[in-house]
């Protein structure tokens, strides 16, 4: 997948493009359907599957007070999109100029002239151009004029609710990891570089790869069961993860701590890709390192047990 950082200043010659357009924060089930449609049509027509998304959330430019904390960092977004079979990823900076672009210019110049777009794929509630006033109907009108087929993807519903980045943010903050992952269509992902901590984990017998907490949405503090891929490896390992304040050994410091099961190695500076699969318990303050140690031991046992049962088909 080739990343294009500004389509208005780019010398890559896009031909025969099938373009999925959206902010795509979280890359949920609705986004996936839209992107899969673009990828399938590109394949069927020997074209290129292109994603047109933004380097920053549009609301950061339009109305900063309404800008949400994001579900994905830029790196996470790129990583997920790369797994969906896309040829080109446009990460357009959503500037004031871009926000004020005339809708007809967007279709006629950006999509048609620059990108050679054959078809676009947008969500049912898509709006674009100056003031976000142009909706799907207007886009279709310009599409006809410039010979760009506009495919509007119907809302994806789960349990009667329309899947959206907004309801997923709500579920994440409420600590409902099950619905978060269901709506995302994939487990909640955290990518980060392993940094140095207080070196107490190894003393306790549970070394933890530490990640920085970034300015984005995380599930509430607590202990989670998950899987982790270490940069350079080809398969995931099981892991127990603490997102929190580490009140027992390092009060006041917030971090994500990943203890990788059946692993021993130096991975400082490496990237790890953590997928949260199950919420296990609250983070607690213990009276001693011994108490903390035996509780973590129990977490590891519980997580192994859960994965074993899942493999045997006893649990979904």
Ligand X SMILES: Cc1cc2nc3c(=O)[nH]c(=O)nc-3n(C[C@H](O)[C@H](O)[C@H](O)COP(=O)(O)O)c2cc1C
Binding site for ligand X (CB under 6 A): 197-201, 206, 208, 210, 223, 240, 242, 246-250, 257, 259, 283-285, 292, 296, 299
| 249, interface contact from ligand ADP, ligand X, none, CB < 5-8 Å by kind | ligand X
x/- letters, 229..268, toward ligand ADP (CB under 6 A): -----------------------------xxx--xxxxxx
- Say if CB 84 and CB 35 are below 8 A apart: yes
State which residue, 34 or 292, has the beta carbon closest to ligand X: 292
304 binds ligand ADP per the rule CB under 6 A: no
Q: How far, in Å, CA of 12 to CA of 2, rounded?
A: 10
308 contributes a contact to ligand ADP by CB under 6 A: no
Q: How many residues does the chain have?
A: 316
Instruction: Answer yes or no whether residue 196 interacts with ligand ADP by CB under 6 A.
Output: yes
Q: Are 71 and 36 in contact (CB under 8 A)?
A: no
Q: For residue 163, what are the contacts with CB-CB under 8 A and spacing of at least 6?
A: 28, 29, 30, 155, 156, 157, 183
Which of ligand X, ligand ADP, none sits in contact with 263, Cβ below 5 to 8 A by type?
A: ligand ADP
Cα–Cα distance measured from residue 147 to residue 181, given in angstroms and rounded to the nearest whole number: 38
Q: Does 221 bind ligand ADP (CB under 6 A)?
A: no
Contact 6, 93 (CB under 8 A): yes
Asked if 237 and 261 count as a contact pair (C-beta separation under 8 A), the reply is yes
Binding-site member from 43, 133, 198, 308 for ligand ADP (CB under 6 A): 198
Structure tokens at 112: 């048609």
Nearer to ligand ADP, 70 or 277 (CB): 277
DSSP state of 25: S
Question: Does 38 engage in binding with ligand ADP (CB under 6 A)?
Answer: no
Tell me the pairing of strands 188-193 and 271-281. Answer: antiparallel
**Nearest residue to ligand X, using CB?**
197
Q: Which residues of the shown chain bind ligand ADP in the complex (CB under 6 A)?
A: 194, 196-199, 201-202, 207-210, 258-260, 263-268
């Amino acid at each position: 997948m080739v990343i294009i950082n500004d389509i208005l200043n780019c010398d890559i010659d896009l031909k025969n493009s099938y373009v999925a357009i959206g902010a795509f924060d979280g890359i949920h089930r609705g986004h996936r359907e839209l992107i899969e449609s673009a990828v399938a049509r590109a394949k069927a027509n020997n074209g290129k599957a292109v994603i047109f998304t933004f380097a920053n959330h549009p609301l950061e430019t339009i109305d900063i007070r309404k800008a949400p904390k994001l579900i994905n960092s830029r790196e996470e977004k790129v990583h997920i999109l790369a797994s969906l079979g896309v040829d080109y990823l446009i990460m357009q900076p959503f500037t004031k100029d871009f926000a004020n672009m005339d809708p007809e210019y967007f279709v006629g110049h950006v999509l048609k002239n620059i990108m050679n777009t054959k078809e676009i794929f947008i969500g049912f509630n898509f709006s674009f151009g100056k003031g976000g006033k142009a909706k799907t109907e207007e886009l279709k009108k310009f599409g006809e004029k410039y010979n760009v087929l506009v495919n509007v993807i119907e809302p994806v519903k789960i349990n009667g609710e329309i899947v959206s980045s907004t309801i997923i943010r709500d579920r994440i903050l409420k600590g409902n990891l099950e619905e978060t992952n269901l709506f995302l269509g994939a487990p909640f992902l955290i990518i980060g570089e392993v940094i140095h901590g207080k070196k107490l984990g190894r003393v306790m017998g549970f070394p933890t790869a530490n990640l920085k907490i970034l300015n984005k949405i995380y599930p509430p503090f607590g202990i989670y069961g998950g899987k982790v891929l270490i940069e350079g490896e080809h398969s995931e390992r099981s892991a127990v993860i603490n997102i929190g304040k580490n009140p027992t050994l390092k009060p006041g410091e917030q971090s994500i701590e990943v203890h990788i099961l059946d692993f021993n190695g130096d991975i400082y500076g490496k990237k790890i890709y953590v997928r949260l699969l199950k919420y296990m318990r609250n983070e607690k303050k213990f009276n001693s390192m011994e108490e903390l140690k035996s509780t973590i031991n129990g977490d590891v046992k519980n997580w192994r047990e859960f994965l074993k049962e899942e493999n045997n088909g006893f649990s979904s």
